[in-house]
Amino acid sequence: MAREHVSHSDIAQFAKDKVNLPREKADDYREQAKRLSDRIESYIGEHPDFTIKRIMLSGSLAKGTSLRSSSDADVACYISGADVPKDIKKLLEYLAEKLKTAFPNFKPEQVKPQTYSVTVSFIGTGLDVDIVPILYDGNKEWSGNLVSQDDGSFLETCIPKHIEFIKSRKKKQETHFAQVVRLAKFWVKYLKSENEKFRFKSFMVELVLAKLSDEGKDFSDYPEALQHFFTYLAKSNIKDLIYFTDYYTAKELGEFKEPVRIIDPVNPKNNASKLYTTEQAKVIVEAAIEAGDAIDAALAATTKQDTIYYWQKVFGPTFNI
């Protein structure tokens, strides 16, 4: 074993230097999102029938799983009312108009509808916030119909519970769960840069890792934790039904015919991986086998140079120690 060449602590250092979003930047984003949500709250105070009901941080910044390369913050925006358009394009235009009403200081070019979200650019900081609409009917737990960022369909789900779900896994393996998520996402990002067809959604990566953690896999040694992840993908062929019973029982699960079945932890009828084809699943499995082999080779290599060579197969040329 050549653990002395690249050890757990080297991977931890690499994560700190190249993988993780630095704290100051994360704080800037969070502050920006908070300003948006505070302003909406005070606007609602003055205009109780305003149809935007809440803005909250969602996505990786809320979960603490952002990569250094993340270029924007995701926030969810709850909208309710009879006159809210259901057509996605009209809904985004509607949302942009409402945001301009609540934020009269924004210039028109700062609030732009995109394909499935509205981007708000802050001129001072240069940070963008991606606002994702959720159609909301007053549910006390803040469940609603989230606009899918993959295909614009409506997904019945609950963002605060997703954040709570990830938080509970982070608590069980402090520092390490979130770190292994970010390392796995970094692997995905590298593969995407090599192959534009490669897809592996962050939410799916998190759920696979949550399953492994729930099964008792220890994440405190990063090379080993990554091996758990790659071995699982390779062995299961990513064909297992993955679900969680935090918020529902197995009896409530829907019937799923799709090749990949990683079920939303808050809605037993929502397959978070329903858009993945057999071909895309195969590409993930093949990449996982290669990454697993590379880590084995890295751990068995006898020189530092060889060890780095193999780790670069997993994380790309930016890997160095």
Ligand X SMILES: Nc1ncnc2c1ncn2[C@@H]1O[C@H](COP(=O)(O)OP(=O)(O)OP(=O)(O)O)[C@@H](O)[C@H]1O
Binding mask 266-285 for Mg ion (x = CB under 5 A): --------------------
How far apart (Å, rounded) are the C-alpha atoms in residues 265 and 158? 9
Residue 88 interaction partner, one of Mg ion, ligand X, none, beta carbon < 5-8 Å per kind = none
DSSP 18: I
- Answer yes or no whether residue 270 interacts with ligand X by CB under 6 A: yes
The Cα–Cα gap between 66 and 186 comes to 10
Collapsing DSSP states into helix, strand and coil, what is residue 48?
Answer: coil
Closer to Mg ion by Cβ: residue 20 or 60: 60
157 counts as binding ligand X under rule CB under 6 A: yes
- Write out the H or E segment, with its range, that includes residue 231: helix 222-236
Q: Rule CB under 5 A: say whether 223 interacts with Mg ion.
A: no
**Using CA atoms, how far apart are residues 121 and 103, in angstroms rounded to an integer?**
12
Q: Taking CB under 6 A as the criterion, which residues in 201-220 touch ligand X?
A: 201-203
Tell me the two tokens of residue 150. Answer: 């993959």
> Minimal distance in Å, beta carbon 247 to Mg ion?
22
Residue 32 makes contact with ligand X by CB under 6 A: no
Binding pattern for the stretch 44-63 against Mg ion, x by CB under 5 A and - elsewhere: ---------------xx---
Q: Does 117 bind ligand X (CB under 6 A)?
A: no
Q: How many CA atoms lie within 13 A of 185 on its CB side?
A: 26
- Binder among 10, 74, 206, 221 for Mg ion (CB under 5 A): 74
**Whats the size of the chain, residue-wise?**
321
Question: Whose Cβ is closer to ligand X: residue 52's or residue 210's?
Answer: 210
Strands 261-262 and 241-242: what pairing? parallel
Pairing relation of β-strands 261-262 and 111-113?
unpaired
Pair of tokens at residue 168: 């509970």
Q: Which does 280 bind (CB under 5 to 8 A by kind): ligand X, Mg ion, none?
A: none
Residue 184 as a binder of ligand X (CB under 6 A): the answer is: no
Locate 148 and state its tokens. 């899918």
Please, are residues 52 and 102 in contact by the beta-carbon 8 Å criterion?
yes
Out of Mg ion, ligand X, none, what residue 189 binds, judged by CB under 5 to 8 A for its kind, is: none
Q: Which of 260, 263, 272, 285 binds ligand X (CB under 6 A)?
A: 272
Closest residue by Cα to residue 218 from 186, 261, 174, 259:
174
Specify the DSSP element, H or E, that contains 121: strand 118-121
Least distance from C-beta 211 to ligand X, angstroms?
15
> 20 vs 307, which CB is nearer to ligand X?
20
Residue 92 sits at the vertex; the CA angle it makes with 89 and 96, to the nearest 5 degrees, is 140
Q: Which is nearer to ligand X, 25 or 235 (CB)?
A: 25
Residue 159 touches ligand X, criterion: CB under 6 A = yes
Name the residues that contact Mg ion, by CB under 5 A.
59-60, 74
Name the residues that contact ligand X, by CB under 6 A.
58-60, 63, 65-67, 70, 74, 146, 155, 157, 159, 162, 201-203, 264, 270, 272
